[in-house]
Amino acid sequence: MTDYGAFAAGPLFGLPLPELWFALVFAILGTFLFLDGFDFGAGALFATREDDEERETILAAIGPFWDGNEVWLVVFGGALFAAFPAVYANLFSRNYLLLFGVLAALILRGLAPEMYEQRHDTAWQRWWGRSFVTGSVLAPFLLGVFTANWLTGSGALLTPAGVAVGLALVALTVVSGAAFLRVKTTGSLREDVRQTGERALVAYLGLVVVALGLVALSTPRLAAAVTTPPVLVLVATSVGLGAGYMAALRTGRDLLALVASGLLTYGLVAVVALLLYPLVDPGSGLSISEAIIAPLALNIMSVASALLLPLVVTYFVVLYSAFSGPVQPTESY
Amino acid sequence: MVDPVIASRVQFALTTIVHIIFPVMSMGLAPFLVYFTWREVRGSEAVYEQLRRFWTKIFAVSFVVGTVTGIVLEFEFGTNFAAFSTFAGELFGGPLATEGMMAFMLEATFLGIFVFGRERVSDRLYFVSSLAVAAGTWLSAVWILIANSWMQLPRGYELVERGGQTVVHLTDPLAAYLNPRFMFMYVHMQNAAVESVALFMAGVAAYHIFKHYVWGYSVQEVDFWEKTLKIAIVALLITAPLQVLHGDMYARHVHETQPQKFAAMEAVWETDSYVPEYLIAFPTSLDDITNPRAKELFGLGIPGGASWLASGGDPQATIRGLNSFDTEAPPVAIVFWSFRAMVGLGFWFILLAFWGGYRWWRGELLEDDLLHKALMGSSLLGILAVELGWVVTEVGRQPWVVQGVLKTADGVSPGLTGTEATITLAGFVMAYASLLALYSYVVARIIRAGPPSTEELRTFVTEADEPTAGAPGDD
């Protein structure tokens, strides 16, 4: 047998790897919720457009990106499984039906853009348009419910806190979706989504406060935690980012607004992570140190991720720069 | 309500069986697309651009359906097989996460460029994208099969107590991940994917050629289909004989490392030497229906054949029987018949390859109606053979989920209720049936529509010559 020496004895370079992986898992979740979030938001905004050409434009805008964006969900699942297998098992089996709901929504949403382009008659496109909108709204809603259940340790299908976080997440995807469509489109579509984005932002900020209140009420453990300085600072920062978002949209700096919506998403996930810490799964009472895998496996995963994640970021830079600027509705293969 | 263990097993089997179709299509098409793209950007005849565009459509649909069905599989480890995930997660989670980061990311991002970017990026980047997509699909299989081969042949670990549970602790990653089973599985799987797609291509091309020359329909782009058929035959001539060759080595390896599975493949109940290889075997009584080699059977066997196969050339070799194992046998009839059907198909594909090759060499490729019918009828048989192979692999190792270490029944989520499992199982049966129907419908439409005509290609060229909107960094 090979001797793995110090590599098997403890964390590499004495780094706090378990805590870093806890942060990484949530950073990946945030990246998924932001990137696929603006796809979801574009899907929700699809419902507000009647014009065929505008609808095609929305699909063309997310066309090259959404597949890659959705892979962040797979990576999130993989990272949680690899670093905290017991959490993955407990959390996923406890939220059994909820997660199958998420999968159903993702299937509806994922098939829709591809199918929509296959035939050009009204009935077919109306059906896949509905599928696209339903999946795009339902997926973030159920993921929000899942996140709330994770935080509170609840195994119930729907709780008031779950509904609030779900709605907040839907609102947030519309916020980013509007900014994304502003970047990718021109004309009346670009003009009209601004107002929807701003309204969604106000709704989002309101829903976050409501959600935090409901989380505190439903979970004694978190009652005091939601008013600790770090959480309050994050909430205040979100309000500031919201103001920045509005200002950016009104001055036509849409890319800046998109960045602000991204930071809002990471902020929301950071609040969840902060409230969980040092537990990873309150439902089974597992803390970071109890749920983390042994040093040898952890070191391998850490080295692999340190090598691979910069590459992944490079792929996204190449992809997004190849398709920068507004799209035409006719762009496809 | 169905028992949660049974429901989970059926659900996982169903979702895997449907999912595998789409990775097979992507993995098999990828090398063809790289070749077509290479010829296209090098400025070869227009047919390569037609080929690239036509098969990219089918690739894109397969990828989308593969993605949505693949996320389901990843989630099912947590939702339905939580006990397995907790038990083996330290070793099993790593390959899964690495697949996501290393392979799936590469494939999904560059597919965006490959599908939508022909008019936006340079020829060079476009070709690189086709390579990246292909590398992504092939690397996905590396990590999935590393994980799977460990379940077939677990090593490099020890069992430890953690949080009151017995779990796998990784002690030797090189032994665990560079598992001898992996190479057998990988080569057999990749070659099978290319072979399956070649059969599919040949069938589709034969259909259009047959329609044109035999039924007298006016088919546009007949030259395109002739080219497609020739490319498919070349691929078949390479992959079909190889598949049987390394399949044989793989079977020998299974005999060494998973004797219970091998015994099920041959339906050997009592340990014996000079075991014949039964080509077909039926029990005479329905009571023996799960035992294809029950006494008083009707059978046709090659004397010493199974022993010869197991040992790599010794017809006198001993094969350990199913009754000598402590654990129950896997469902023998399923494994026995799947194995026979798969091997039979493998030989049929070799015959098809040489038949097509011979007609082409004689200059009669477009004239042999029987060949065209055979190719049409065989277009989906490659995928069927892959499915059968996986049935042998996965059903054959039951009752174990991790061979000799953890039984499948002990891997199911402990808190899962029969109601929950039944609801999702019923949902999946409906959803996956619809998915398959939809996928078939869309692919059939693409096939009927055929490739873009050469006039359309010329329009595209003039469009591309104009400056494109939105160069990087102008927003």
**Contact between A148 and A154 (Cβ < 8 Å):** yes
B468 pLDDT above the threshold of 70: no
CB contacts < 8 Å between A and B, how many?
259
Instruction: Identify the pLDDT of residue A24.
Output: 96
Question: Is any Cβ of chain B less than 8 angstroms from the Cβ of A77?
Answer: yes
Instruction: Identify the pLDDT of residue B466.
Output: 45
> Tokens at residue B277, please?
């290889």
- Closest Cβ opposite residue A183 in set B119, B442, B475: B475
How many Å is the Cα radius of gyration of chain B?
A: 24
Q: Which residues of B touch A314 (CB under 8 A)?
A: none
**Contact between A291 and A84 (Cβ < 8 Å):** yes
Instruction: Identify the pLDDT of residue A279.
Output: 93
Q: In 3D, which of A67, A61, A60 has the Cα closest to residue A181?
A: A61
Alpha-carbon span A22 to A33, nearest angstrom: 17
- Quick one: average pLDDT of B2-31? 93
Q: Which residues of B touch A8 (CB under 8 A)?
A: 171
Q: What is the pLDDT of residues B291-316, one digit of tens each?
A: 777 766 777 888 888 998 888 888 89
- Considering only residues B132 and B472, tell me which one the structure prediction assigns the higher pLDDT: B132
**In Å, how far from its chain's centre is CA B64?**
17
Q: In 3D, which of B145, B41, B29, B76 has the Cα closest to residue B424?
A: B76
How crowded is residue B423: how many other Cβ atoms within 10 Å of its Cβ?
16
CB pair distance less than 8 Å for B475 and A325: yes
- Quick one: average pLDDT of B257-261? 93
The SS3 of residue A117 is: coil
Q: In 3D, which of B279, B284, B308, B309 has the Cα closest to residue B294?
A: B284
Q: Which residues of B touch A300 (CB under 8 A)?
A: 94, 173
- Quick one: average pLDDT of A56-74? 91
Instruction: Identify the pLDDT of residue B14.
Output: 93
Question: Is any Cβ of chain B less than 8 angstroms from the Cβ of A93?
Answer: yes
Q: What is the pLDDT of residues A221-246, one digit of tens each?
A: 888 888 889 999 999 999 999 999 99
The SS3 of residue B281 is: strand
CB pair distance less than 8 Å for B415 and A93: yes
Mean pLDDT of chain A: 91
B325 pLDDT above the threshold of 60: yes
Question: A233 to chain B nearest CA, in Å?
Answer: 32
Question: Which of B155, B170, B442 to mutate: most A Cβ within 10 Å?
Answer: B170
Question: A199 to chain B nearest CA, in Å?
Answer: 25
Instruction: Identify the pLDDT of residue B460.
Output: 52
CB pair distance less than 8 Å for A70 and B67: yes
- Quick one: average pLDDT of B182-204? 96
Instruction: Identify the pLDDT of residue A324.
Output: 87
Q: Which residues of B touch A25 (CB under 8 A)?
A: none
Q: What is the pLDDT of residues A126-155, one digit of tens each?
A: 899 999 999 999 999 999 999 999 999 887
Residue type, B459: T
Question: Which of A87, A99, A109, A111 to mutate: most B Cβ within 10 Å?
Answer: A111
Instruction: Identify the pLDDT of residue A271.
Output: 94
Instruction: Identify the pLDDT of residue B475.
Output: 38
Global pTM value: 0.91
CB pair distance less than 8 Å for A304 and B82: no
Percent of chain A with pLDDT over 70: 98
Instruction: Identify the pLDDT of residue B473.
Output: 39
The SS3 of residue B158 is: strand
Lowest mean pLDDT among A1-10, A76-85, B324-333: A1-10
The SS3 of residue A251 is: coil
Percent of chain A with pLDDT over 90: 71
pLDDT band at B469 (very low <50, low <70, confident <90, very high): very low
- Give the ipTM: 0.91
Q: Which residue of B has its CA nearest to A312?
A: B105
Instruction: Identify the pLDDT of residue B296.
Output: 63
Residue type, B217: Y
Instruction: Identify the pLDDT of residue B472.
Output: 44
Instruction: Identify the pLDDT of residue A225.
Output: 86
Q: Which residues of A touch B175 (CB under 8 A)?
A: 1-2
Q: What is the pLDDT of residues B211-221, one digit of tens each?
A: 888 887 877 78
**Contact between A172 and A220 (Cβ < 8 Å):** no
pLDDT band at A328 (very low <50, low <70, confident <90, very high): confident
